[in-house]
Amino acid sequence: MLDRPSCQALDHDDPLAAFRERFLLPEGAIYLDGNSLGALPKAVPGRVREVVAREWGEGLIRSWNAAHWIDLPRRVGDKIAPLIGAEPGEVVAADSTSVNLFKLLSAALELRKGRSVILSEADNFPTDLYVAEGVRDQLGRGHRLRLVAGEELVSAIDEEVAVVMATQVNFRTGFRHDLDAVTAAAHRQGALMLWDLSHSVGAMPVALGRADADLAVGCGYKYLNGGPGAPAFLYVHRDLQDRIRPPLSGWMGHREPFAFERDYAPAEGIARNLCGTPPILALAALDAALDLWRDVDLDALRRKSIALSELFIGLVEERCAGLGLTLATPRDAERRGSQVSLRHPEGYAVMQALIAEGVIGDFRSPDLLRFGFTPLYLRYVDVFDSAVALEKILRRQGWDRPEFRRRATVT
């Protein structure tokens, strides 16, 4: 396995190394939680100050036109589109992932009347399942939520399924679904395919267009680095856009919002999926964060993601053998996203001890230490140092302290 000087040499030759300088990273910290909240791009604070001080402070309401605030949801959507293999006009930034999932799941069931099943996996991100339960109960038309193991998803698709709702990369284990294969399986049975891309967009190439996927949602605050609670996005295949009647028929999705007509008439295209007034400050931050992606080679991004996670797994297997860790992430790089999850019976306390050492990951119940590998600002030497810190804590049982066992609200 590589030593620290070898990792430094890899950093020297890394074609993505220069992107690290475009982020504000705290001194003395190794940040392995970009899969939960991305680091701050240096371009964002200045852009937000400009919007607050000049566009809002001086332009006031005139900036809806003069500063083109009204176009931000679609403009930001068009910046996200190439990152998920979509075309301009197929993506819009709006609301949260959960709200967008509600909108698209409701619309999908309307498009597949006569079919009763929402199919998903039992270990999907909980909010996705909560939303599906809410849509099912609100519609009151006898829909059922069928949950299966991730590896059984394709074989469970039958003629009863209206929509397959899947997250491409599992939030706990990092298991990665084959987007093309699952989409094709759904279509063979006449079902619509709805993807949650929250743990894949910005970490790897995503090819919705190539797969002919129908619908997708994703968040802006993980690998896209849009800031805490950043607006999410939704994708609708161009062929479906004018067939959808949004369940949240707000004024921004109207064909003429400022005509103030009495009755709702949906806008043409992707814009009908808007609802309320867009959050301009949050959208401006995400807009600025997305600018750096114009210079990113997504294939190089994926290669580095795999290299970082392979290095980490190898170091942990070498240095931490017999110390209570179990790999929860697929060992095959093609079957995982850009994270590595390790099981340990004292996982929460171990993670808190790591954070105290400056290695910031996170914990997922009941026993998962979760490490995200964000190729744009993470170095190979950071991965080496993280593995060394983990080994030290486990060998010395440095996690066995009361302050590390005390559960915080956010884990």
Q: Is 370 a catalytic residue?
A: yes
For 152, 165, 167, 251, the CA distances from 129, given in Å and listed in that order, are 17, 9, 11, 28
- Is residue 243 part of the annotated active site? The answer reads no
Residues 6+ apart with CB under 8 A from 256: 265
Question: In angstroms, rounded to a whole number, what is the distance separating the alpha carbons of residues 273 and 77?
Answer: 12
Strand partners, 217: 196, 234
Residue that is written with structure tokens 């998803």 in the block:
153
Residue by residue, what is the 3-state secondary structure of 262-283? CCCCECCHHHHHCCCCCCHHHH
Query: In a 3-state reduction of DSSP, which class is residue 336?
Result: strand
Nearest CA to 310 among 327, 290, 294?
Answer: 327
> Which residue out of 47, 222, 304, 379 is catalytically annotated?
222
Residue 255: CA count within 13 A, CB half-sphere: 10
For residue 82, CA distances in Å to 194, 293, 344 come to: 18, 9, 38
8 Å CB contact between 234 and 273:
yes
Catalytic residue chosen out of the listed positions 196, 214, 287, 362: 196
196 labelled catalytic:
yes
- Active-site residue, from 125, 233, 235, 373: 125
Distance (Å, whole) CA 175 – CA 144 = 25
Instruction: Give me the amino acid identity at 64.
Output: W
What phi, psi does 194 have (nearest 5°)? Answer: -120, 115
Location of structure tokens 């607006």: 231
Active site residue 223: no
Helix (H, G, I), strand (E, B) or coil at 376: coil
Determine the residue type at 17. Answer: A
Decide: 131 and 105 in contact? Cβ < 8 Å: yes
From 31, 221, 223, 363, the catalytic residue? 221
Beta bridge partners of 193: 164
- Count Cβ atoms within 10 A of the Cβ of residue 39 and give its class: 0-12 exposed, 13-18 middle, 19 or more buried: buried
> In this structure, how many other beta carbons lie within 10 angstroms of the beta carbon of residue 155?
9
Active-site residue identified among 370, 371, 384, 404: 370
Residue 113 known to be catalytic: no
Point out the residues that are catalytic. Answer: 125, 196, 221-222, 370
